[in-house]
Structure 1
Amino acid sequence: MNGSTGGEFAAFLNAYDWTSPWRAEREESGMNNTTRMIYAGDERYVLRVYDNHRDEAIVHVEHAVLLALSGKELGLKVPGPVRNREGSTVTKGPEGKLAALYHYIEGHRPSPVHPAHIRGLGEAAGKLSSRLAAVQIDARPLYDAYYRFEDTHQAMAGSRLVELAGEQGLLEEEGARLETMIRLRDDLIEAAGRAARLPHQWIHGDIVFTNSVALGDRIVGLLDFEFATIDVRAMELAVVLAEFPGPDTELALYRTRLFCEGFGSAIRLNAEEADMLPELMQLRMMDVFLHFAGRLADGADDLEVWRGQIRRTSFVCEWINRNRGELDRILRETLT
């Protein structure tokens, strides 16, 4: 049964057994997927339609991680996939699009400028990292580790990046930043080799403020495990830390310390992991930069998306180099 809105999602929602008529409402949606809040009687759910791929195996890996975490002493909530009439947690629409239905986690998006939320998200990330190291996950990761960016993005070699920028008329405007990223790419190849020797485990891979849930000052849930994979353990932390650099260096370092204090209260890293975190942050940014270059080349994004990524990634990577001394001190003091 369906309510008064959301007819376009009926192909997915009608695959489930409902005890009350459902109603779909547009409330929040992520960058990679379409989401709708589903109301059915006194129950609330979240329907997630995967827009960036049609690979059932990827969703099944995500759900294997979530099911391994369910019922564990995590101290946080994670999405609970709902099975459809066929017993599957993945539903395919008539045009091949995939969707999944999840139990709703009560709360709101935390603020990336609120100190309690920054520290709380760090603690949540640390708790998750500790738990993921302990659970058995019946799945094989389908995403490469971030440090394998050379293999993942073979089509985006340095010469191809320059060619792509030339085709898009970006060389005059963004040429200097592009040169910075190409030079850094060469430097990071050596760092990637060192990263490969660090402790590995399952990670969420995309813990950011928009993928978490707060109640008041507390972080109570983590969402969107779509990019879960086996990677360097410390990469879980590097993904978030790369979000903090900004024009106010003192503020960025303060937020970095807050987050690391939270993470370190839940799990400690070894000295080699802490020392490599700045390079891991740059490896994350390089992967994102190359990913969006590939999307532009494939016609999946418009020029402004990559232009923004060139500016953001070059800024963050240079910020890390400029503030390496203070960054190293914070990481050692809070994480080891």
Structure 2
Amino acid sequence: MSFGNSDGDFAFYLEAYSRDTLWRAVKEESGMNNTTRMIYSGKDKYVLRVYDNHRDVGIVQIEHQLLDKLQLAGLPFQVPMPVANLNGSTITISPDGKLAALYAYIEGERPSSSTDRHVEALGAAAGALSNAMSHLEMDREIRPVYKPYYEFEQSHAAMTNEKLERLSQASEVLSKREAELSLLFAERARLAALRTLMADMPHQWIHGDIVFNNSLVHENRISGVLDFEFSTIDLRAMELAVVLAEFPNEDYSRALEQIALFCRGFGSSVKLTKVEIGQLSDLVKLRMLDVFLHFAARYSEGLDGEPVWDHQIQRAAYVCKWLDQYKAEITELFDNYLS
């Protein structure tokens, strides 16, 4: 077996799949949560993912069972197909406990939110996936690891307002975000009070992190949806809310166009109830609050520097204010395309 100059670190994982094959591992693209390498073996191409943010076999088992069932769902695009190693498992564990998985390669490039056809196509893909996942029958012993977004007070219990204030005040840069933090604390209290209402809304398995970086486009159509690591049972409408959080920006008319395009695509497969539509803006805020608290925890643990959390504070506060400012226009779009 032969590897390139920096590929030796991945030899253990690749040898778990074949001991007599010539592999070539190439660094092409990686996300924030994992390390990925493109793997070339003759004419075949794969993606090796090494999980950096957890060592929980159960999380990957859920992801792989979902992917196995979705292979048979008749989707108009591909989802990752896990490859079994020599032991018959789709999960490979290194001597130090790190988890890895090998997936068949899916042709395509990352779509662009600035291209209208990509925006509507990703909306349609998200709707088709949501519809397919609503019919999934998982094994009885499979239980989601991640809590629904609306349980954020449990998921982020350690990140109290008091602790967040202490973290911000200890930094010259972050101490300037008092107004933004005050707004986010108020939204936190308001959204926490909506927990009972949200808990009564339709639930199902969702991808939970459909964004442009987690999908592929080929010839202006979505060719793949990736990264099912955070899949869980949550609000059906949360699948849509996660993506909509990407659009608010200073060019409000363009942002509204993008929201309309995405909702039109999503609504071609999934229609929401009046209650879901009425809560959708708050679900977008919930997504932003969850991300804000997630990065607060990372900053607290020394995993990120000040600029990362500072950006998340500003972005979360901006999106919340933007949604309030254009509430009437957004509600009209939701009614037009999702009901």
Give 1:72 deviation, angstroms: 2.1
Give 1:137 deviation, angstroms: 1.8
Cα distance change of structure 1 residues 155 and 21 upon mapping to structure 2, 3 Å threshold:
same
Q: Which amino acid aligns with 2:249?
A: G
Aligned residue for 1:76? 77
Q: Does the residue aligned with 1:155 lie in a helix, a strand or coil?
A: coil
1:1-336 aligned within 5 A: 1-5=1-5, 6-17=7-18, 20-138=21-139, 139-170=142-173, 172-336=175-339
Cα displacement string for residues 272-305 of structure 1 (whole angstroms, at most 9, x for unaligned residues): 1111100000011111101111111111211111
Cα displacement string for residues 199-222 of structure 1 (whole angstroms, at most 9, x for unaligned residues): 000000000001001011111210
CA contact (8 A) 1:203 1:231 kept: yes
* TM-score of the two chains, using structure 2 as the length reference: 0.97
Distance 1:21 1:198 in 2: 51
Give 1:191 deviation, angstroms: 2.3
* TM-score of the two chains, using structure 1 as the length reference: 0.98
CA contact (8 A) 1:27 1:36 kept: yes
Cα displacement string for residues 67-86 of structure 1 (whole angstroms, at most 9, x for unaligned residues): 11112211110000011111
Q: Which amino acid aligns with 1:173?
A: K
Q: Which amino acid aligns with 2:304?
A: D
Distance 1:247 1:268 in 2: 29
The alignment of Structure 1 onto Structure 2 pairs a total of residues equal to: 336
RMSD of aligned residue pairs (Cα, Å): 1.1
CA contact (8 A) 1:67 1:80 kept: yes
Identical pairs, percent = 50
CA contact (8 A) 1:275 1:332 kept: no
Cα displacement string for residues 202-243 of structure 1 (whole angstroms, at most 9, x for unaligned residues): 000000001001011111210000000000000000000000
Give 1:193 deviation, angstroms: 2.3
CA contact (8 A) 2:3 2:11 kept: no
CA contact (8 A) 1:191 1:279 kept: no
Q: Which amino acid aligns with 2:238?
A: M
Distance 1:19 1:193 in 2: 57
Please say which of residues 243-252 and 18-27 is displaced more in the overlay. 18-27
Distance 1:263 1:246 in 2: 21
CA contact (8 A) 1:162 1:171 kept: no
Distance 2:159 2:152 in 1: 10
Cα displacement string for residues 145-191 of structure 1 (whole angstroms, at most 9, x for unaligned residues): 01110111111111111111112234541111111111111111122
Q: Which runs of 4+ in 1 moved over 6 A?
A: none
Q: Does the residue aligned with 1:266 lie in a helix, a strand or coil?
A: coil
Distance 1:197 1:72 in 2: 27
CA contact (8 A) 1:11 1:94 kept: no
Q: Which amino acid aligns with 1:97?
A: K
Distance 2:129 2:232 in 1: 13
